[in-house]
Structure 1
Amino acid sequence: MALTVELVAADRKVWSGEATNVVARTTDGEIGILPGHAPLLGVLVAGEVRISGEGEQVTAEVDNGFLSVDHDRVTIIADSATVGADRGN
């Protein structure tokens, strides 16, 4: 099983693909999402989002937004988001 993940900033699609887990910081604290996770709508705070897949990890800095989980689909909508390579990592 895998998660279908989409990371979107206000002005563009930043990243999309399949992942085995997602970790993000919400107003309630850091949360980890695995396949089969219960539906969720969370409010993101500025910080790091980590998306892990088969042999790949994507790290993005986000500024506030929302995280939605439903039927193994994770949608992250942020005011702004910068993926590792874009940040100079």
Structure 2
Amino acid sequence: MAELSVDLVATDRKVWSGTAHQVSAPSVDGQVGILANHTPLLAVLRPGTVKVSTTHGESVEVHVSGGFVSVDDNLVTIVADDIAPVAPAESRIA
């Protein structure tokens, strides 16, 4: 099965890098789903959650404040002004 190389980058640092089967990102035109061999894409992101399904069976979820996503030759680069991990559901309960 083909893989995606994914880089999550904030303006001041690389937040996460790895391989994935799927990436979902909130573009200004709607949610974008990215699988291996996706056509080249450059899209502006709106604030929301980026979800990465890694090749190791894990899920990486981060909140982005906006930015852009670029896809080319199975390389997905997400650049945002701010990237913050999404807290697990149990830690959100007051």
C-alpha RMSD of matched pairs (Å): 0.8
Which protein shows a greater Rg? 2
Q: Compute the displacement of 1:10 (Å).
A: 0.8
Structure 1 unaligned residues grouped into runs of 5+: none
Preserved CA contact (<8 Å) 1:3 1:74 = yes
Give TM-score scaled by structure 2 length: 0.88
Report what 2:18 is aligned to: 17
**Count of aligned residue pairs for this structure pair:** 86
Give TM-score scaled by structure 1 length: 0.93
Q: 1:78 aligns with which of 64, 80, 83?
A: 80
Q: Name the CA distance, whole Å, in 1 between partners of 2:57 and 2:3.
A: 13
Q: Which residue type is aligned with residue 51 of structure 1? A: V
Identity in percent:
50
Higher normalized strand content (fraction of residues): 1
Three-state SS of the structure 1 residue aligned to 2:66 is strand
Q: Compute the displacement of 1:34 (Å).
A: 0.1
Q: Name the CA distance, whole Å, in 2 between partners of 1:24 and 1:45.
A: 9
Q: Compute the displacement of 1:83 (Å).
A: 2.1
Q: Which residue type is aligned with residue 59 of structure 2? A: Q
Structure 2 unaligned residues grouped into runs of 5+: 89-94
Stretches (4+) displaced over 3 A:
none
